[in-house]
């Protein structure tokens, strides 16, 4: 039950960030709202969300592709942040926690580094 509430709050927060960003975007290439957007989405999707700026760097430095800030680019970036954050927080993390709990229930010995 708690996980469903957390998931709903997280999705709500990401949609809220997108709505504020799209509302405040003034259509200029150097819009400051993109800074708000990037920091909020990085915080919500950290650490997996770091891959989105990494893709931007790869496109710009590696392939010399420049992407203008537009409504489409903001929604596309939001989708990347959302997908990565959702997968890591609500699929991968619960899977790893279940695996660790299963590993502990099997009675696996805990290694200690006691000096002899």
Q: What is the dihedral of CA 70, 71, 76, 79, to 10 degrees?
A: 140
| Whether pLDDT at 112 is above 80 | no
The token duo for 95 is 């899977």
Specify the DSSP element, H or E, that contains 21.
helix 2-24
| Whether pLDDT at 62 is above 70 | yes
Domain ranges of the chain: 2-91
pLDDT value, residue 43? 95
* pTM assigned to the model: 0.80
């Amino acid at each position: 039950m708690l996980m469903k509430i957390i998931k709903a709050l997280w999705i709500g927060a990401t949609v809220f960030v997108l709505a504020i960003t799209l509302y405040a975007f003034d259509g200029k290439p150097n819009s400051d709202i993109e800074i708000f957007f990037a920091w909020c989405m990085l915080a919500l999707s950290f650490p997996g969300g770091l891959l989105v700026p990494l893709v931007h760097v790869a496109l710009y430095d590696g392939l010399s592709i420049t992407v203008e800030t537009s409504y489409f680019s903001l929604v596309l970036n939001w989708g990347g942040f959302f997908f990565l954050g959702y997968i890591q927080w609500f699929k991968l993390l619960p899977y790893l926690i279940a695996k660790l709990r299963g590993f502990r229930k099997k009675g696996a010995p805990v290694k200690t580094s006691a000096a002899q």
